[in-house]
Amino acid sequence: MMDCLQSEPELRPTSAELDTRLKRIDGEKMKLDSSVKRSLMKNPTMSLNDVFPAHIAKALSEGRKPEAEHHDFVTIFFSDIVGFTSIAANLEPRKVANLLDRFYFKLDALSSIHDVFKVETIGDAYMAVTNLVKNQDKDHAKRMAQFAMDAIQAANETLIDVDDESMGYLDIRVGLHTGPGKQPFASNGTVGARQILT
């Protein structure tokens, strides 16, 4: 499957070739690393806990549909990478994946430091929220502003291409939204088995 990451398109497998390869994979015969098996046996809801707040993951793992929650005050963080379309067009796909991995690893670490809940990443966009998963009424906006400033610094310290420093460092656009509304400001719940934030 590493062929899919070739920088020259003609060296990548066709859709038909990929289909053939995928049909040959037999999930029952695939071997999991023993440490992965131990982790899954120890914590079968590991993936739920990685995606949802603990109380929602618990409800889903017990087969219950979590009740929607309403929050009068939250702060939401949005960011995207300036010039990402151009960056992605000029890098090999594996380097784009590496860039996003390196950068989002930093943002995920910052989200832990600032106690910010990561909602989603889609391509080069990152979304997080405070005062949704736990009570942070007194400082949710300040906490998110500090996270945003650190996120900008982290971007400015992230090389676009570790093999070509001349491409420079990332720059991101950041937006914050906070406050009350006439109706509850934010609601969160699940649709199917995925969390939503409205």
**β-strands 74-81, 125-130 pairing:** antiparallel
Strand blocks (E) in the chain: 69-71, 74-81, 117-122, 125-130, 172-179, 186-191, 194-197
pTM score above 0.75: no
**β-strands 125-130, 117-122 pairing:** antiparallel
The residues of the chain scoring below 50 in pLDDT are 26-40, 45-46, 181-185, 190-191, 193, 196, 198
For 61, phi then psi, to 5°, come to -70, -25
Compute how many other C-beta atoms are within 10 angstroms of the C-beta atom of residue 91: 19
pLDDT, tens digit (0-9, with 9 covering 90-100), for 123-179: 899 999 998 888 888 999 999 999 999 999 999 999 999 999 999 999 999 999 887
Question: Positive or negative CA dihedral for 151, 155, 158, 160?
Answer: positive
Give the model's pLDDT for residue 12.
Answer: 74
Give the model's pLDDT for residue 41.
Answer: 52
